[in-house]
Structure formats: C-alpha cells, structure tokens
Amino acid sequence: MLATAEFESRARITVWELASRQKRASIRLQSSAPVRALVLSPNGKTIAWAAGTQTNGSSELALWPLLEGDETVLLKGHRGGVGAVVFAPDGKTLASTGFDGTVKIWDATSHEERMSLPAFGARGTGAAIDFRPTPFAPRFAPTHDKRVQMASTPVKMDEPTGARDLKAGFDTKSNGVKAKGPLTTVVSGPRKSGREDSNLRPLEPHSSALAKLRHAPNFSRADAEAPWD
Amino acid sequence: MVGFDGEAAGPLCVAFSPNSKWLAAGGLERQGDSLAGVVQVWDTATGKHQFTLRGNKLPVGMIAFSPTAAC
C-alpha cells in the first residue's frame, strides 16, 4: 500500500494498492492548509497527516483508520498549524509538533492528548519529529532554533510521570527564537547507562532551518535535512 | 530511465519502500494539454521503471509506503 497527498490546498489523500496498482480509497482534507507530513501506522491500517500554515492559520492533525470506514478523526489541541506527525513504533502512540512550539503525545486508539510539552517556547516552531524505538522519546527539530533536540530521559507512556520525565530531558536553553544561532544536530549512540545525555554529540552545522529528520535503519543516529543550506 | 517529461512537470517527493526494493517519486506530468499528479515507481537495484500511478488531478506533494508493504 502506498499513500499520497496532493500538493495543493484542500489536498486529497489517496491510498493505492501496490499489487493491483489501483486506487483503494481517497479522502479530502477538511483544512485548506498544506500537508506537512503523511505517515502510515506500523501495521499499515491507519494514515495520519499534519497540515498547517502558521501560528494562527488553518490546521489539521488527523487519523484515517482505513479498515474502519471513511471517517477521519481530528486530533485537536495544537494552536495553529501542525508541522509534523509520527507514529511510535508500537503503533499505539502518536507525536506531533507544530507552529505553536509544542510537542504533543496522543493515544492513537482513544485519540486523547496525553501530554503537551512546551518544547520550543512560545515563539518556536516544530517542523520534524521522530521516535526512537525504545524507550519512547520523541526527537524533533524546530525551524527557528535550527537545532535538533531530543528527550534524554526514557518516557514510559503508561505512567503519569512520563510528562515530567520527558520535559526534564529537553534542552531548555534552546527555547525561543535564535534564527542566527548555530545549528546543532545531535546523534545518539546505544544507550549504555541511565542517562542518555552522555551519548549525545553535535554533528555538522547547517546554515538554514531544518525540514526533515530521519533515522538510520539501525536507529543508531538521526540525520536532519536542511534543504535550503 | 523514465522521468517526468516536460517543462513545469517534475517530481516533488520521493520515498523508499520498506525493504528498499522500490523507490517512488510523486509529482506532476503533462497529460495532453494539462498537468496532472503522478507517481512513478522504480526498482532501486536495476533502475528499471516498474509502474505508474495516475488518478490524482493535482500534483502529488507527499508520498508514504505502508510499513507492511511486501516490497
């Protein structure tokens, strides 16, 4: 199965069967905002997308359970555009970030917002996000800070203290807008001790904002993509 | 190699299949007098074009394989 999103306003999301090479289903965004991210759940049964323009602009964070009818489920909570969304490897959790500077963690089944983290400060923007496989710790990149941050503390999603642990791991010094500051891309090695900070090290700097973030297949490192360098 | 023919036509996004066998590129192509969305899929080992998905009227700006896709 392959999913596509149109480049235009009120984009259509289409699902294609690769075996038959035919359209399987199609749905149109409710928002006029451009699609920023399109992902499928690990089991391939749910599509999620993030759309948004700016802080006070139109926005859409949605789930589309392919096997459960035609309805999309809107995940509401971000103020302003949503910049990125990703499924956790277990498929039960989603993380999103956007123009309101927060990282939000969602229950993919109940569609409830589990936590909202002031990750990038009031004027920051989250543009890319990814999970490490274990333990769950969102990794995300703000456009304005030109910096990749990651949680340094393991996050156990089932525990109410998870939010506090996650927040404690953020690099709070990078909050706010530092458009001309150095970009630091962090990579993480295998987790050897209780603290992951010791495994973080800076990578080469970029001169423009980050747009994408991706893991190496073995999850030993993450690379940020800055297409406007 | 099959590309995106014509001025103003071209790819906007790419994605590897889960086992890296295929590379898909989405974008727009000229169909008659107008431009329409298209997805082209290649075999990454041979470079051979596999198939084309047509049906999007508008440019394809984002593309994602299912993690369960057997390719």
A12 touches chain B (CB under 8 A): yes
pLDDT at B50 over 70: yes
ipTM of the modeled complex: 0.87
Whether the CB of A3 is below 8 Å from some CB of chain B: the reply is yes
With a pLDDT cut of 70, the percent of chain B lying above it is: 90
Contact B59 A6 (CB under 8 A): yes
Query: pLDDT tens across A101-114, in order?
Result: 788 889 999 999 98
What local confidence, expressed as pLDDT, does residue A197 receive? 35
What number is the average pLDDT over the span A110-124? 77
Is pLDDT at A95 greater than 70 in this prediction?
Answer: yes
In the DSSP assignment, the letter for residue B28 is E
Mean pLDDT of the residues in chain B: 88
Asked if A6 lies within 8 A of B12 by C-beta distance, the reply is no
Query: In chain A, pLDDT over 90 holds for what percent of residues?
Result: 28
Q: Is A39 on the interface with B (CB under 8 A)?
A: yes
Give the mean pLDDT of A203-222.
41
Contact: A4, B59; criterion CB under 8 Å: no
What residues of B are in the A interface, CB distance below 8 Å? 12, 24, 26, 28, 37, 39, 51, 53, 55-56, 58-69, 71
Write down the pLDDT at residue A146: 40
| Confidence class for position A99, pLDDT limits 50, 70, 90 | confident
Single pTM value for the model: 0.72
How far A15 CA sits from the closest chain B CA (Å)?
Answer: 10
Tokens at B60, concatenated? 């394809």
Which one of B50, B62, B63, B65 makes the best mutation probe of the A interface by having the most chain A beta carbons within 10 Å?
A: B62
Q: How confident is the model at residue A86 (pLDDT cuts 50, 70, 90)?
A: confident
Q: Give the nearest partner residue to B24 out of A2, A5, A39, using CB atoms.
A: A2
Residue A210 has pLDDT above 50, yes or no: no
Average pLDDT over residues A211-221: 43
Chain B: residue nearest A16 by CA? B53
pLDDT tens, A183-202? Answer: 222 322 233 333 333 333 33
Which stretch of A9-13, A139-143, B57-61 has the lowest confidence by average pLDDT? A139-143
Q: Where does the pLDDT of residue A9 fall: very low under 50, low under 70, confident under 90, or very high at 90 and above?
A: confident
